[in-house]
């Protein structure tokens, strides 16, 4: 299944905005959005539920955890 990265970003942005109760900047460091490792896994699980796919998280690297944009890129790569 191929999902455009912008669609993934939109879903991630919505999820974080709901969680934090406010607007979210795509390139803000994840730490400043209050996202720790557990919440990143939970976010990816929510993306899985949304698109009905499985995203392996064991191989995630530090570069994938910079901001929502890099996380969306990781999710898209793993969905291929």
Partner 1 sequence: MPRWSLSAPEMDRPLSGPDHFHWLVHRAMRAHGQAGNISRMRFDLGAADAADVAATLRTNPVVQAVGRVRWCFRWPLLPRWRLTEDAPDVVHVHRADDGEAWLSQRLREPLGREGLLRFDVRDGAGATQVLASFHHALFDHQGMLNLLHAVEAGAWHGPAMPSLDRAPGPGAWREAVACAAAAFRTAGPRLGSLWVRGAAGEEPHYQVLRFTVEETARINARARAMGASLSRNAWYMAGVAHGVQAVLERRGRPAPYLWFSAPVDQRPPTGPGHLLTNLNSFLFFRLEREHLHDPGVALRALNVQLVEQVRSRFPQRYRSLLRAFRHPPAWLASAMFALPSLGRWSSFGHSDLGDLDRMPVTFAGRPVAQVLHLPPVPGPPGLCVVTGRERGALLMVIGRQGLALNEQEAGAFASSLRDLLLGT
What distance lies between CA 57 and its chain's CA centroid? 11
Toward partner 1, which CB reaches closer, 5 or 20? 20
Of residues 37 through 76, those in contact with partner 1 by CB under 8 A are 37-42, 45, 57-58, 60-62, 64-65
Shorter beta-carbon distance to partner 1: residue 22 or 27: 22
- Supply the minimum distance, in Å, between the C-beta of residue 4 and partner 1: 25
Among 3, 10, 19, 28, the residue binding partner 1 under the rule CB under 8 A is 19
What distance in Å separates the CA atoms of residue 58 and residue 71, rounded to the nearest whole number? Answer: 14
Alpha helices in the chain (DSSP H): 5-20, 37-51, 68-79
Contact indicator for 29, 67 with CB cutoff of 8 Å? yes
Residues present in the chain in total? 80
Residues that bind partner 1 (CB under 8 A): 19-22, 33-42, 45, 57-58, 60-62, 64-65
């Amino acid at each position: 299944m191929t999902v455009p990265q912008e669609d993934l970003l939109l879903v991630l942005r919505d999820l974080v905005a709901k969680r934090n109760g406010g607007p979210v900047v795509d390139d803000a460091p994840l730490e400043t959005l209050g996202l720790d490792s557990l919440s990143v896994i939970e976010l990816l699980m929510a993306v899985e539920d949304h698109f009905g796919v499985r995203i392996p998280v064991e191989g995630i690297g530090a570069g994938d955890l910079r901001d929502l944009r890099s996380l969306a890129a990781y999710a898209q790569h793993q969905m291929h």
